Amino acid sequence: MNLYLTDGSEEGFFTAAFRACTDADCVVTSARNVQLAAGAELIDVQTDAERCERVRRFLRRYDARSLGEISLLLRRGCATKEMTALGYLRLIVQRRAPVRDMLAHPAVLEAMSEIKKVTQEAHRFKGFLRFMECSNGIYYAPFEPDNDVLELLFPHFARRFAAMPFAIHDVARQKAMLSDGRRRMLVHTEEKVDIPLSEGEQTMQALWKEYYASVNIAQRPHEKQMKGYMPVRYWKFLPEKQEEPKRPQ
Amino acid sequence: MIDAERLKILTESAKYDVSCSSSGSARANKAGGIGNGYAAGICHSFTPDGRCISLLKILLSNRCSYNCLYCPNRADADVPRASATPEELCELVMAFYKRNYIEGLFLSSAVERSPDYTMERMTDAVIRLRKVYNFNGYIHLKGIPHADRRLVSRAARYVDRMSYNIELPSEKSLLLLAPQKSKESVLLPMKQLAEEKREDMEAKKHTVLPAGQTTQMIVGASPETDSQILRLSEAMYRRFSLKRVYYSAYVPVVRHASLPDKCTGLLREHRLYQADWLMRFYGFSAEEIAPDGENLPEAYDPKCAWALRNMQLFPVEVNTAPLEMLLRVPGIGTMGAYRILKARKFASLDFADLAKMRIVLKRAKHFITCGGKFCGAGSDASVRTLLALGSREETYEQLSLFSTPELAASALTGQL
């Protein structure tokens, strides 16, 4: 059995897929902490532009849309994402046609449900992302998504806040995207970033908390539904879900 | 900036309005402006009552000259009063929007001084947002009954959605509980706006209410049956091309002899919403869902109840049934029906396939066949018992080590 270890990039995956596609019981992964099974051979995949392009050309020919789908699959935050993508890719190779509507096929089912997890999270953060006004006038939003959705999310805010300087920071993956109204860029960051907030920021957060508390109808509690729509793991960066600091009477 | 105390009063007065959706408008951001519409709508937070926060839902003022019995802000009520200036409101909207707390503004107001005065101040606030603050996010504006029709037309050109609350499901109840409002004061502006939007669409200008109109009514404060309520909704969907009708289970905030002193069950509200969805997305008519003079049954969802009344139409064959019929199978939703249509082009589907495709078979299995095979209960009576709310299917089976793998898989999904 072969184990292809990639660098986690799309190019790395397609390079590995070039061989792995017909390598029946192999494993492709980018997880650094993989357990090597007895008798398995580790292949450290070096990105190869030509092989990568040949796989992509094949996909463009038989199902161009699948390129976007595989790109989404590889944004999943789990160790088996490459295998899901490979299963989907193999089926396209085998049938030489789009397979996304074969919804009773296990490989398609898995691919579609994994894609959904990525796009759903990207959509959720369009709502759950919270910006803070910094003392230099930039609006800064830290978050920790399960999947690598920063690049999917950014265009939405770039349209919305076209005339406003802002930064979105994926704290766990240590990268941020910035826009100053004209230019956009992607930067790698330290684990902890210390950013001084503007004078009015605490006041606005307090007003927002006041609003959040007032708009609730206490006679109709339904906490389970709230947590279903807004999972607790996303609360970390929501001002309205932080404990109220003790205010002097 | 508005202070916390007034924000609290003006929010608490607005919170019983159900509508919160920010969908239907794809208003683009303008150069140098801030905000845009997002057609699918975005929820920004959820409160412990399970409702979403999408828009900043607030009153401009809760000083009301009307005396609607059910309303906590009615003129006679002894509650703290407050109002905000249009300028204060704009500042708050912008500050919240830039932090991505909200998708836009839902502005309502008590009738302060006169309907025209109120409508003018509300219109002033939204025009200021659009022109002075260059705000292109979502705005939902509540219409004030009896306000001048020219004011209403003007406002409609700046906002994404407007709504007049029909409040109660019949003229009689409205007269009894909201004496200063009349059926005409609500329906005429709705009709006027529907016509203006139609003309605007025909002229391809798309400036009037891109997200259309909605309305809301209180359920359970007056004696109307669900069938009456659904017929009213159906008529309004047809005549005014409404986007949504919201139903709000009555919560007694005010005690009065003409009002019930108990909350209306949330289940009734839920059943009405289910029925409403059936009318809008599943091709059902109000007549089919709730026979004349009846309430929706609580034990079954309305689609299931309809199917149980029409057992002669079932079971349908999943691999050949047309979309319209798949949509009528209890347990199969719009997404499920479309998934079946796609998947069955490649291979004939069996029950295990449906389970894998996450089609919920708990109800559906009694109404479908897969390749001629039927897996439901034998008689209509047992289907009824099995599907009634609260009944559990106690049909567990001890799996043996020698069970076939397919059986084991289906046992995991809990189906078959």
User: What would the pLDDT profile of B357-388 be if each residue is shown by its tens digit?
Assistant: 989 899 999 999 999 999 888 788 888 888 88
Sequential DSSP letters for A108-152: HHHHHHHHHHHHHHHHHHHHH---EEBTTS-EEEEE--SS--HHH
Q: Which residue of A has its CA nearest to B2?
A: A207
Q: What's the mean pLDDT in B279-303?
A: 93
How large is the ipTM? 0.93
Say if CB A82 and CB A52 are below 8 A apart: no
Query: Residues 71 to 110 of B: which have CB under 8 A from any A CB?
Result: 92, 95-96, 98-101, 103
- Rounded to the nearest integer, the mean pLDDT of chain A is 93
Q: Is B238 exposed, middle or buried (0-12, 13-18, 19+ CB in 10 A)?
A: exposed
Query: To the nearest whole angstrom, how far is the Cα of B42 from the nearest Cα of chain A?
Result: 6
Tell me the two tokens of residue A124.
């959720």
Q: Dump strand ranges (E) for B307-390.
A: 316-317, 368-370, 373-374
pLDDT at position B88 over 90 = yes
Contact flag A230-B42 (C-beta cutoff 8 Å): no
User: What would the pLDDT profile of B4-36 be if each residue is shown by its tens digit?
Assistant: 999 999 999 898 887 778 999 999 999 889 999
Contact flag A161-B98 (C-beta cutoff 8 Å): yes
How many residues does the structure list for chain B? 416
pLDDT classification of A245: cutoffs 50, 70, 90: low
Point out the residue among A101, A106, A211 whose CB comes nearest to the CB of B345. Answer: A101
Point out the residue among A104, A217, A224 whose CB comes nearest to the CB of B356. Answer: A104
Contact flag A127-B263 (C-beta cutoff 8 Å): no
Q: What's the mean pLDDT in A111-125?
A: 97
pLDDT at position B402 over 90 = no
Element (DSSP H or E) covering residue A70 = helix A65-73
User: What would the pLDDT profile of B233-266 be if each residue is shown by its tens digit?
Assistant: 999 999 999 999 999 888 787 778 888 888 778 8
Closest residue by Cα to residue B99 from A139, A9, A245: A139
Point out the residue among A126, A161, A216 whose CB comes nearest to the CB of B49. Answer: A216
Contact flag A206-B4 (C-beta cutoff 8 Å): yes
Q: Is B63 exposed, middle or buried (0-12, 13-18, 19+ CB in 10 A)?
A: middle
Chain B residues near residue A119 by CB distance under 8 angstroms: none
pLDDT at position B390 over 80 = no
Phi, psi of A29 (to 5 degrees): -155, 160
pLDDT classification of B401: cutoffs 50, 70, 90: very low
Give the model's pLDDT for residue B37: 95
Give the model's pLDDT for residue B412: 38
Give the model's pLDDT for residue A244: 66
User: What would the pLDDT profile of B34-84 be if each residue is shown by its tens digit?
Assistant: 999 999 999 999 999 999 999 999 999 999 999 988 888 999 989 999 999
Chain A residues near residue B7 by CB distance under 8 angstroms: 207, 210-211, 214
Contact flag A127-B347 (C-beta cutoff 8 Å): no
Query: Residues 204 to 223 of B: which have CB under 8 A from any A CB?
Result: none
Question: What is the reported pTM?
Answer: 0.90
Interface with chain B: mutation pick from A95, A214, A236, highest number of B CBs within 10 Å: A214
Element (DSSP H or E) covering residue A43 = strand A41-44
Give the model's pLDDT for residue A247: 52
Say if CB B260 and CB B219 are below 8 A apart: no
User: What would the pLDDT profile of A141-177 be if each residue is shown by its tens digit?
Assistant: 999 999 999 999 999 999 999 989 999 999 999 999 9
- Rounded to the nearest integer, the mean pLDDT of chain B is 89
Peptide bond into B80 cis (omega under 30): no
Orientation angle between helical segments A49-63 and A10-20, nearest 10 degrees: 80
Query: To the nearest whole angstrom, how far is the Cα of A130 from the nearest Cα of chain B?
Result: 6
Say if CB B182 and CB B130 are below 8 A apart: no
Chain B residues near residue A203 by CB distance under 8 angstroms: 1
User: What would the pLDDT profile of B180-191 be if each residue is shown by its tens digit?
Assistant: 888 999 999 999
Lowest model confidence (mean pLDDT) among A125-134, B106-115, B152-161, B392-401:
B392-401
Give the model's pLDDT for residue B381: 86
Q: State how far the Cα of A182 lies from the Cα of A179, in Å rounded to an integer.
A: 7
pLDDT classification of B318: cutoffs 50, 70, 90: very high
Sequential DSSP letters for A177-213: EEE-SS-EEEEE--S----PBPTTHHHHHHHHHHHHH
Which has more pLDDT, B15 or A111?
Answer: A111
